[in-house]
Structure formats: C-alpha cells, structure tokens
Structure 1
Amino acid sequence: MAASACCLLLLVSLLATTAAAANYSMVARHEKWMAENGRKYKDAAEKARRFKVFKANVERIDRFNAAGDKTYRLGANKFTDLTDEEFVSRYTGYSNGSVPSTFGAKKLPGFMYENVSLSEGDSQGVDWRERGAVTNVKDQSTCGCCWAFSAAAAVEGIHQITTNELVSLSEQQLLDCSTQFGNKGCDGGYMQYSFNYILAAGGITTESAYPYQRVQGSTCQFTGEGVAATISGYQEVPLKDEDALAQAVANQPVSVYITAGSLQFKQYMGGVFTGDGCDQNLNHAVTVVGYGVDAAGGGEYWLIKNSWGMQWGEQGYMRLQKGQGACGIVSTLAPAYPGNTYM
C-alpha cells in the first residue's frame, strides 16, 4: 500500500513538473512572439489575459499542424493573442447590417465576359502579379474597411491593364468620402458602393496624395484634383458560378466577399486553404488576382490578395480552394469588377 502511494505521488509530481515545463515553454514562445510583433501590454493583468488567449490559440495551431491531414498549415502571427470574436470585429468588415437588394443604378447589366473563351495558357492559370497589375500588399490595421482595399485593388488592376501604368490608389479617399453612397467607414462597407462613389467623384487619387490613416477622417479631403484613375462603370459576376469568376479573373482582378472569421483563416500561413476551414458568416472582402493549380497536390486554387499586411499568409496572399464555393466566394454577394472606357 505504501509503495502504491509512493508511486502515485511520484506520478503526480512528474505530471506537475511536465505541465510546469510546458507552461514555461509557452511563456517563452509568447515572449518571443511579443518581440517579433512589437507587442506591448499596458499592465501585468492585460499581459496575463493575452497570454491565456495566445496559449489557447497556439495549442489549437499545434494540434492542427500535428494532424497533418490538410493541404495548408497554420502558424502564429500578429493575430494570435486575439480571440476569434475580437479578430472578426477588428480586422474584417465588408458590411455592417443587412445586405442591400441593389447597389444603385451605376451597376451595368449583363456579364461582359460571358462568351469569352479562356486561352490554353489562361485555362491553366493566371497571376496578375506577374503581369504587373497588382500593387504591394497593404495593411488595413484595425479599421474594418477591407471593402476599400478590395475596391482599390480592383481599380488598380484595370487601370494598369488599360493604361500600362501601375498606380497605388487611395483607400483613405474611399473611407472618408463614400459614406453618402452607403459605406460606413471602419464599420463596414461594400465594393459596389465604392465603385458608385468613384464614378460620381470623377475618379480616385493616389495613395501618396491621400495616404491611409487607419481611421476614418472627419471630412472628405478629395477636391477633384489629382485624379489618378477613373472607371466607366462596373459589373457583377453571376452568383454561384466559379467558371464565370474565372472568365472575369482571366481578364482583370475581381473584388469578392468571403468568410474569414475562423481560427484557420486567421492563422493561415501557407498552402491551399480548403472550404472546411471557413466559418459561416460572410464578413470580409478581398481581391482575386489569379488562379492556378498547386504543384504539391493541393488542387485548383484562387489567388487572393488580402489587406492584413505581408506577415499573414503567403506574404499577404492566400491560395483558396477553387471550384468548391470555399469560404462563400460566390455564394451570397456577387463578385464585382470595375471597367474602363471599353465597358
């Protein structure tokens, strides 16, 4: 009996020591992560709260990667001390309210790429980065204006395609100036409303002329001077039709709405992201700048430009499973693309 009690005490002690060592290792990981991400907390209580969240997220990431049964991997990034709910409220924001039944009269009818056949090369893959139509990855920070970044990227793309000039355009102009068209600043918006605004304003200026401030300004600073790009209208891709989306993307970058609130999406680090990693709420806007087939066996994918900086994903990009409606990419709100004078 005494021997059994001794063994039990030894086991309990061993387990406690192991748990303490694991927790110390997590503390070290947190400290390293804080240094790498420049994170500072206001006091010890906040640091303790954030460590608890960080630890839970890292444990979920480790379990996911250890399973090794997916075509993508997760990793710690600048979002890892946030709960999923905090992340969604701060870093998404395609809309804030009910989905509008119409986006206004400026939307042109039809689908101009309906009868456009893909070339043999385009049927295999398209990457508008390689064709010079994509600016550097940007960072919306904690302002929920992903819609502005998606719209600006789409206009940057068609402007380069039609003029052979790549110009970084002003998301801040859209953030400050498009509220009367239905957008709500850092509380959400829609790319279609942004296109309506650009049409009404006579164009959009450059990033350098009207730089991003991470908050909505109290007044619109655009006076009509310094227009860098214009559009002639916009169209939408038919809902629930990824073949149609491919036809559009083969011709220009396209703005899309997706679901981005899951741990997997938040902590995505690389590979082809599959639909079973998505959540159910359409809450984010990105730009599709290409598509292709993963050489490592991940299958067909959409190449998505995000607005969370280069530390997220594959240097700011995601390869999202193509052909399966992953993350609601064509399910509820239609993808949209601006046109230039030919439309």
Structure 2
Amino acid sequence: MEPPWRSHMSSVFIFMAAVIFISSHYFVTTAVTDVEQKFKLFIKKYQKPYKIGSEEYYKRLKIFQDSLKKHHHLNSLRTSNHSAIYGVTKFSDLTDEEFIAQYLDDTKKPLKHHLLKSQGGYVKNTQKQTTDHSYKSFEPQKWDWRTDWKWPVITKVKNQRSCGGCWAFSSVESVETMYAIKTKDLRDLSVQQVIDCAAYGNFGCRGGDTCHALYWMKLTRTPLVTDQEYPLTDTSDFCKIEPNATKGVSLTDYTCDKFINHGQSTEGQMVSMLLNGPLTISVDATSWKDYLGGIIQYHCYNFNNHAVQIIGYDLTGPVPYFIIRNSWGDDFGLNGYIHIRIGNNVCGVAEEVSSIQV
C-alpha cells in the first residue's frame, strides 16, 4: 500500500507542473501577442500590403519577430551612450538577404581605374598622406553643410526606393551642393538623367559606380537639368537628353581616391576636404537596415555595396563622426542621415572617395 505522504507529494508535483505549463503558455502567448501588436502598428505606419491572416502576413510576422531579437542583441553590445541604436525601421519585415538584394545591390565593382586615367578623367588626390588621428586638433571642430554655410546648399533627402541608383543619387547631390556654393542657386538636379544616360560601367537601376558617373559627366560635359525637367521615375529607361542640346549644371573636374595608406585609413584628409564641399563615397551599408541613431562604430566591413554623401563632421565628443546623407528617404535613421565614426575605415568610408568642381 502506498504511503499517504507519497500520494500527497504526487498531487503537489502534478499541480506545480500544471501551474508551470499554464504560466509558460501564458507568457509565450503574451509575448507572441505583443510582437503581433507591434507588427500591426508597423504595417499601419509604413503602409505595408499584408492582409491579416494570409500566408504572407505570417511569413513577414516571423521575419519581424526575428528582427526584434536582432535589435535586442545589437543593443546589448553597445559600449556607451554614443553607440549606434538599433530598432524597428521600415525594413524590419525583410530578411537580411532580401534587404541586400533590394537596396544594396546597386554598386558595381569599378572598372580598372587606369581606364579612367588614360582618358584624362581620373584625378588622383596628391596631398601628403597622414594618419587617421590627424583630425584631432583640426579646426573647426564641427562642420555641417546644412547649417554652417551662408546660404542653403543642401537639398532635401531623396528616396531611391527599389531603384539601385545610389551611385547616381550621391553623385548628383554633390553637384547640387557645389553649384549652390558657387552661385547661391540651390537646385534639385535630375538623378533620373544620370540613371538613364550615364554609361561607362553604369547600368541604371541595376547598379553603377560613383567614379564612373563623375567620369561620364566630365568626359561628355553633359549638363545636368533640373528634376522638374527630367523627373525621377525610379526605373531605368532610355536617355531622353541630347548632351549638346540642353542647358544645365556641368561638372568641370573631380577627384576619385582611396584614403588607405599601408592598411591604415587617412581620414584626416577627408575631414580637411569637407571644408571645400561634400564628398561622395562608397560604403558597406549591410548593418544599416536596423539603424535608428547614434554613431556606427562596428558591425560593418570595408567592402562597398552602397553610395552616399558626407556633408559634415563632428570632432567635439569622445567619438568623432562623419555626418552621412543617405538616399532611403527622410524616414530612415536621423531624418535621412546617419553618423559613422571617423577612423579605422568604419563601413569602408575611405575606400572610394570623390570630390567635385563645377
């Protein structure tokens, strides 16, 4: 015969197991419900087309849930209040592979630069190379072309959407600014014209290279018309402009260089160059998918899959940084901008750097 205490203990264990099961089920259900509620708010905010209850809806919900876990992991690695912050963005329903295919497959490996040199379209920076710490005593300690010039010289943040034309956006943006600095006339110039017309290793919305775009502008002396005259369609099409039959803004010269010396970045040079005007650069933007703010210091590499514009810098804090203008709309990052640490070639900022003259 079984002792009474053993029967009592069995009942207790069964009761405790039931409580644990119910509690764990409650917390899992609550967690899933909380994630789905966030996902529904995400759908509403970014006007995503997912129909609740559909197969696509649950597929994207799972990806969204994975994104939340990734954000938590990345934020757990922050080393200070200056570190980058990651969270829900308009890309949180995409896998990393989908994000790369849709938004980062738009820079092509440059043609051999000797081709550009041989045609007289490549200007190498000949200033003396310095270490990446040469900016520490630089004056002024802060510069931002949005606010520090005498008149407006930066147009609004653009949105390339699904067109792989970052190389065209960043190149045209620098032409806009340099022309405004020179003439006080700030114009929205046609990115679509460059997407459609720029040859020499560029492939419209299927990708291109910033140095090749600038080479095309100089070699053909094609004036850039306004966006109103040649509006953005976010698709590739045939060129609708005759090079010698239009009036617009022409590029007169440019530099295209790599600020790496014996494996070390020489970004002090770039800081100095920014006082003359913005720089167009190629970067690795793989980790930008989840960026909300702060200074990116890690989680990216020195290969290039995206092109952007540097419009300033800030050396005053413990982590000096470049101010980067992106082309994913003003609902990305810091109203369309992103901060990247100066030094150590973070995200490959020193791999392909261009300045221009108009």
- TM norm structure 1: 0.89
Q: Which residue type is aligned with residue 12 of structure 2?
A: A
Aligned equivalent of 2:86, options 74, 92, 97: 74
Give distance in 1, aligned partners of 2:248 and 2:65.
Answer: 46
Question: 1:289 matched to which residue of 2?
Answer: 311
In 1, distance between residues paired with 2:123 and 2:303? 28
Contact 1:186 1:216 in 2 (8 A): yes
Question: Which residue matches 1:6?
Answer: 15
Q: Supply the distance in 1 between the matched residues of 2:127 and 2:337 (Cα, whole angstroms).
A: 25
Match of 2:153 among 124, 127, 133: 133
In structure 2, distance between residues paired with 1:271 and 1:212: 31
Deviation at 1:111, TM superposition (A): 2.4
Q: Measured at CA, do residues 93 and 148 of structure 1 come closer, stay the same or move farther in structure 2, by a change above 3 Å? A: farther
For 1:214, which of 229, 234, 243 is the aligned residue?
A: 234
Write the mapping of 1:155-304 to structure 2, written as runs, cut at 5 A: 155-178=175-198, 180-199=199-218, 200-217=220-237, 219-224=238-243, 225-240=245-260, 241-262=266-287, 265-274=288-297, 276-279=298-301, 281-293=303-315, 295=317, 297=318, 299-304=319-324
> How far off its partner does 1:16 sit?
0.9
Contact 1:261–1:281, Cα closer than 8 Å, also in 2:
no
Q: Which residue identity is paired with 1:172? A: Q
What runs of 5+ residues in structure 2 fail to find an aligned partner? Answer: 1-9, 261-265
Q: Which segment is superposed worse, 186-195 or 62-71?
A: 62-71
What does residue 333 of structure 2 align with?
313
Is the contact made by 1:272 and 1:294 (CA closer than 8 Å) also made in structure 2? no
In 2 relative to 1, CA 267–106 (structure 1 residues): closer, same or farther, beyond 3 Å? Answer: farther
Q: How many Å apart are 1:302 and its aligned residue?
A: 0.3
TM superposition shift of 1:113 = 6.2
| Partner Cα separation in structure 2 for residue 280 and residue 110 of structure 1 | 20
Q: Structure 1 residues 196 and 109, CA, compared in 2 at 3 Å: closer, same or farther?
A: closer
Please give the alpha-carbon distance, in whole angstroms, between the structure 1 residues aligned to 2:99 and 2:353: 24
Higher Rg: 2
In the alignment, which residue of structure 2 is the partner of 1:60? 70
Which residue matches 2:348? Answer: 328
Structure 1 CA distance, aligned partners of 2:304 and 2:124?
A: 24
User: Counterparts of 1:106 and 1:277 in 2: how far apart (Å)?
Assistant: 38
Q: Relative to structure 1, is the Cα distance of residues 30 and 6 closer, same or farther in structure 2, using a 3 angstrom cutoff?
A: same
Provide closer, same or farther for how the CA distance between residues 301 and 189 of structure 1 changes in structure 2, counting only shifts above 3 A.
same
What percentage of residue pairs aligned between the two structures are identical? 26
The alignment yields a C-alpha RMSD, in angstroms, of 2.2
Please tell me the residue identity of whatever aligns with 1:271.
G
Which of 99, 123, 129 aligns to 2:110? It is: 99
Correspondence for 2:100:
88
Contact persistence 1:306–1:316 (CA under 8 A): yes
Distance 2:305 2:270 in 1: 20
Q: In the alignment, which of 48, 67, 75 is matched to residue 39 of structure 1?
A: 48
2:355 aligns with 337
* CA distance in structure 1 between the partners assigned to 2:122 and 2:61 by the alignment: 50
Structure 1: distance between partners of 2:127 and 2:173: 20
* 1:15-53, Cα deviation, whole Å (9 max, x unpaired): 111000110011110001110101112681111111110
Pick closer, same or farther for the CA change 1:201–1:110 going to 2, 3 Å: closer
State the Cα distance separating 1:294 from its structure 2 match.
Answer: 5.7
User: Cα 1:67–1:236, aligned 2, differ >3 Å: closer, same or farther?
Assistant: closer
